[in-house]
Amino acid sequence: MKLLIGIILIFAGIITSVFVNKKTHPEKKENFIPAEPLNFGTPVDLDLKKKMQEMTLREKIAQMVIASAIPGEIREGSAEFKKLKDLCEQTKVGGFIFFKGSSTDYARLSNKLQMISTIPLLISADFERGTRMRVSDGALFPNNMAIGASDNPELSYRMGIEVARETRLLGVHQNYAPVCDVNNNPKNPIINVRSFGEDPALVSKMSAGFIKGLQEGKVIATAKHFPGHGDTEIDSHNDLPMLNFSMERLEKTELVPFKNAIQNNVMSVMIAHLSFPELEQKTNVPASLSPAIVEDLLINKMGFGGLVVTDALNMKGITKYFSTSEVAVMCVNAGIDLILMPLDENTTVNAIESAVLNGKITPERIERSVEKILKAKKWLGLFENTQVQEADVYKSLNTSEANVLAQKIADESITLVKDDNNSLPLKNSVGSKTAVISISEGGEQDNTGYIAGEIGNYFGDYTYYSTGTAGIEPMLQKGLKDIPGYDQVIIAIFAKVRYGTGKISISQTNIDLVNEIKSLNKNVVVVSLGSPYLLKEFPDIPCYISAYGDSDVSINASLKAITGKIPFKGKLPVSITESYIFGTGIRK
């Protein structure tokens, strides 16, 4: 009888536990236990104190260096692997940033490097919108601007949890996300849809949700690009952008999301390579190397006590003006903790060591950074275990739950900016003919193949055409003569941020093409599968939809909304013309 009662009580406890968990965290894994973010201000425990006492000055400096690796290109025994091995054994760097590879590549390289290193490595990556940004078989979510268009911070939070789950499975510990930049410059060539929008309050609440999700999943979130990269017209991969406005403006706009991130316990902040003369008067000194911006503003005035990381130091906004040794010493004097991707790791360590020995940098300054780095590694559990499961890791990534969430974000983001002729939803009745034209600027990552394969699920009688930067291809040129025979025309434009190009890519040839098709007086619907700002290039188009990206789920959501299978719910998170401003969105 006692045994029976015990079994009943245990069963009741399980039911109660499941019910409470589901009520508190709806639609989340039942075994998910949120982690508390690290308080960097707590005293160093005895184990870490002893660890620091055992380290040489050079080893402490090396902890501040984050080198780079491309897991998909590295094989054991190769020259590149030997270089990474030397960085762990000889230089003793503090960590790595990983770039392209498969999930197996990531897990394997993380495990091997961790086994070589005497102090656990901090592995980081850029997973702004999911692990598939770098990992070929990871999950991919819509761009941040799509989340902003949904105006639903719960979706940002849930995405953060899922990205964190995959991140840790891969052996990665720090995500260089979220982007907290306020994109209030339509000509910005590098941020654009990577931002949640142009409104500081919107960016604040969406980034806070993502930060919370990441750090509850035991991943270090990184607010970037401080003090704000949203109002620039130069790509810092190419040169040094300049913020030519007052401190008052910075306080009122750019700094708002960063202040909010700090209040929400973000554990890391990335500093941009951009010039802000209002605070840093020295010529060509970027925020990332400026004591006035890092130490005085971020750390002292704004009270940030977490990890401060530079943007990548191989970018021309840095290398154009300073040597590797100069950059190294300037980083430390500015208040930087993590020196990301210096051109030469050993030169960097040598320069800082020399500066300490010559009295230009105090030993206490190095201690401050190393203490934070080791505390972060302890919070991550790396002193207990650095290894991750390699076999079949791909089976736990890109799950159906992740894809359902990604599709939900996309469905809630699709924005009907204008529909002057009340043409939506489009017809798919017997006898109606549809032309679908993909305008791509020739980027290898444009998802034109996916839309070509999906159109048949929405329209019976249709013809698909495509064009690239070279101009109108012969098939499309022939197709233009046939356009009068179609009842409706969908123009899908793939235009996105392309690193290092200095622009959002759409050619005059393709602008002319859209206007030419419009002049044929057909029922024309333009869908921007990327930058929402394209409407200014053809303002007289009667129907314009913004999807903020060309992922599978964004294309799905566009086609579903165009054909009336889901309603348009999104609102513009940015102003794209004087007539179509922040908050515009036709509910239909």
Assign residue 423 the CATH number of its domain. 3.40.50.1700
376 phi, psi to nearest 5 deg: -65, -40
CA–CA gap between residue 151 and residue 157 (Å, rounded): 12
What tokens appear for 459 in the block? 């329209």
* Pairing label, strands 65-69, 339-340: parallel
**Residue 427 sits in the same domain as residue 340:** no
Q: How confident is the model at residue 33 (pLDDT cuts 50, 70, 90)?
A: confident
> What percent of the chain has a predicted confidence (pLDDT) above 70?
90
Q: Among 32-36, 304-308, 525-529, 574-578, which is the least confidently predicted range?
A: 32-36
- What pLDDT is stored for residue 163 in this prediction? 98
- Residue bearing the bigger pLDDT, 12 or 132: 132
Domain membership of residue 391 (yes or no) is no
Q: How confident is the model at residue 172 (pLDDT cuts 50, 70, 90)?
A: very high
CA–CA gap between residue 542 and residue 246 (Å, rounded): 39
- What pLDDT is stored for residue 479 in this prediction? 60
**Residue 379 sits in the same domain as residue 439:** no
State the average pLDDT over residues 184-207. Answer: 94
**Residue 364 sits in the same domain as residue 442:** no
**Three-state SS for 319?**
helix
**Residue 135 sits in the same domain as residue 267:** yes
CA–CA gap between residue 265 and residue 332 (Å, rounded): 23
Is residue 144 predicted with pLDDT exceeding 90? Answer: yes
Is residue 149 predicted with pLDDT exceeding 50? Answer: yes
- What pLDDT is stored for residue 237 in this prediction? 66
Is residue 17 predicted with pLDDT exceeding 50? Answer: no
**Residue 381 sits in the same domain as residue 424:** no
Domain membership of residue 586 (yes or no) is no
Nearest to residue 160, comparing CAs of 334, 54, 32? Answer: 32
What tokens appear for 215 in the block? 């750090």
**Residue 324 sits in the same domain as residue 449:** no
State the average pLDDT over residues 142-147. Answer: 98
- What pLDDT is stored for residue 457 in this prediction? 95
**Residue 158 sits in the same domain as residue 269:** yes
Q: How confident is the model at residue 242 (pLDDT cuts 50, 70, 90)?
A: confident
- What pLDDT is stored for residue 461 in this prediction? 92
Find out whether 158 and 213 touch, Cβ atoms under 8 Å.
yes
DSSP per-residue codes, 128-191: TT-GGGTBTTS-----HHHHHHHT-HHHHHHHHHHHHHHHHHTT--EE---B------TT-SSS
Q: Give residue 117's identity as a one-letter amino acid code.
A: S
- What pLDDT is stored for residue 18 in this prediction? 35
- What pLDDT is stored for residue 28 in this prediction? 44
Tally of domains in the chain: 2
Mean pLDDT, all residues of the chain: 90
Domain membership of residue 187 (yes or no) is yes
Is residue 27 predicted with pLDDT exceeding 50? Answer: no
Domain membership of residue 573 (yes or no) is no
Is residue 10 predicted with pLDDT exceeding 50? Answer: no
Q: What is the CATH number of the domain that holds 168?
A: 3.20.20.300
Q: How confident is the model at residue 478 (pLDDT cuts 50, 70, 90)?
A: low
- Residue bearing the bigger pLDDT, 509 or 44: 44
Find out whether 226 and 310 touch, Cβ atoms under 8 Å.
no
- Summarised one tens digit per residue, pLDDT across range 260-310 is 999 999 999 999 999 999 999 999 999 999 999 999 999 999 999 999 999
Measured CA to CA in angstroms, residue 346 lies from 61, 69, 87, 341, 350 at distances of 11, 16, 9, 12, 6
The whole-model pTM stands at 0.92
Find out whether 489 and 437 touch, Cβ atoms under 8 Å.
yes
**Residue 123 sits in the same domain as residue 212:** yes
Per the structure, the complete domain to which residue 62 belongs is given by 46-385
Would you tell me how many other CB atoms lie within 10 Å of the CB of residue 42? 8
**Residue 374 sits in the same domain as residue 421:** no
With both helix axes pointing from N to C terminus, report the angle between 345-357 and 363-379 in degrees, rounded to the nearest 10: 130
**Residue 319 sits in the same domain as residue 358:** yes
- Summarised one tens digit per residue, pLDDT across range 34-43 is 999 999 999 9
**Three-state SS for 224?**
strand
**Positive or negative, the Cα torsion across 364, 368, 369, 370?**
positive
CA–CA gap between residue 550 and residue 528 (Å, rounded): 9
Query: What is the edge-to-edge ordering of all strands in the sheet holding 415-419?
Result: 415-419, 543-546, 523-528, 488-494, 434-440, 462-467
Domain membership of residue 14 (yes or no) is no
Is residue 29 predicted with pLDDT exceeding 70? Answer: no
* Pairing label, strands 122-125, 174-175: parallel
**Three-state SS for 545?**
strand
Q: Kindly provide the residue ranges of all beta strands, DSSP E only, lying in 217-335, ordered along the sequence.
A: 220-226, 268-271, 307-310
